[in-house]
């Protein structure tokens, strides 16, 4: 009753522009219209934009550890700003909205899975930030999908410099063998991250899961950088 009165007297406002037009999961239809999905066709495995449908040459010649990468939208504009605020400025009010975008992408793909987890932070980074932004998204995502969320499945075993700003050739060396996994034998796992840039995190996290016996790994993100 109280919730009904609050929505009637004080209708929800968009977290981005404060508008009231069809606010869903905290964001209005006008702001949502500015979100751009990745332009197809996409590689069936790594999810990169490619020229023709199917699997890209890189995945054919050097199959990655993950089975599939799914990203909700292009990392640009409003989404880039929201994720930055969510990640670095404690704007955790966006977690339902971001998880909703990922849920739509996973549901549309239809790949089966057993549970949801997230890319871990090193304990020192977690203390510094106060929360794992990817795990917040994963927790909300599990509610949308009606699935379990698992904590402690993945662990970051050594502290690494931020990937942001590192040259492409240094990103893979930076994360090599930085993750471990447990409790995934024979399971199909969805791993959540906020943004995919080069895919090195997806590769290293998925390697840890496969080494621990995971049968299938779906790496899911809100945003993905695209080179035009």
Write down the pLDDT at residue 228.
58
Cis amide bond preceding 41, omega within 30: yes
Q: Angle at the Cα of 210 (from 207 to 212), degrees rounded to 5?
A: 110
Write down the pLDDT at residue 3.
52
Q: Angle at the Cα of 221 (from 104 to 205), degrees rounded to 5?
A: 135
Taking only the tens place, the pLDDT of each residue in 41-95 is: 999 999 999 989 999 999 999 999 999 999 999 999 999 999 999 999 999 999 9
Nearest to 113 by CA among 210, 22, 228, 216: 216
CA 6 to chain centre: 32
Nearest to 40 by CA among 226, 219, 197: 226
Rounded-to-integer distance, Cα 11 and Cα 61, Å: 54
Domain 39-224 has CATH 3.40.50.2020: yes
Which H or E run includes 226? none
| For the chain, domain boundaries | 39-224
Rounded-to-integer distance, Cα 100 and Cα 28, Å: 13
Rounded-to-integer distance, Cα 72 and Cα 65, Å: 21
Residue with tokens 């932004």: 133
Write down the pLDDT at residue 11.
72
Residue with tokens 């959540």: 192
Low-confidence stretches of the chain (pLDDT < 70) are 1-10, 161-174, 228
């Amino acid at each position: 009753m109280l919730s009904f009165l609050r929505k009637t007297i004080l209708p929800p406002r968009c977290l981005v522009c404060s508008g009231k037009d069809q606010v869903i999961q905290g964001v209005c239809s006008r702001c949502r219209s500015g979100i751009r999905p990745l332009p197809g066709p996409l590689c069936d495995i790594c999810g990169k934009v490619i020229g023709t449908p199917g699997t890209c040459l890189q995945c054919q010649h050097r199959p990655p550890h993950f089975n599939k990468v799914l990203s909700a939208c292009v990392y640009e504009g409003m989404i880039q700003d929201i994720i930055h605020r969510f990640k670095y400025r404690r704007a955790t009010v966006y977690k339902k909205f971001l998880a909703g975008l990922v849920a739509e992408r996973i549901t549309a793909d239809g790949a089966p899975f057993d549970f949801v987890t997230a890319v871990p932070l090193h304990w020192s980074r977690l203390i510094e930030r106060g929360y794992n932004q990817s795990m917040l998204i994963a927790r909300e995502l599990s509610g949308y999908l009606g699935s379990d969320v698992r904590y402690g499945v993945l662990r970051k075993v050594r502290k690494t410099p931020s990937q942001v700003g590192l040259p492409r050739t240094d990103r893979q060396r930076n994360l090599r063998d930085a993750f471990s996994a447990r409790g995934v034998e024979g399971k199909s796992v969805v791993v959540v991250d906020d943004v995919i840039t080069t895919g090195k995190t997806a590769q290293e996290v998925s390697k840890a899961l496969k080494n621990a016996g995971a049968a299938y790994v779906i790496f899911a993100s809100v945003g993905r950088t695209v080179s035009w």
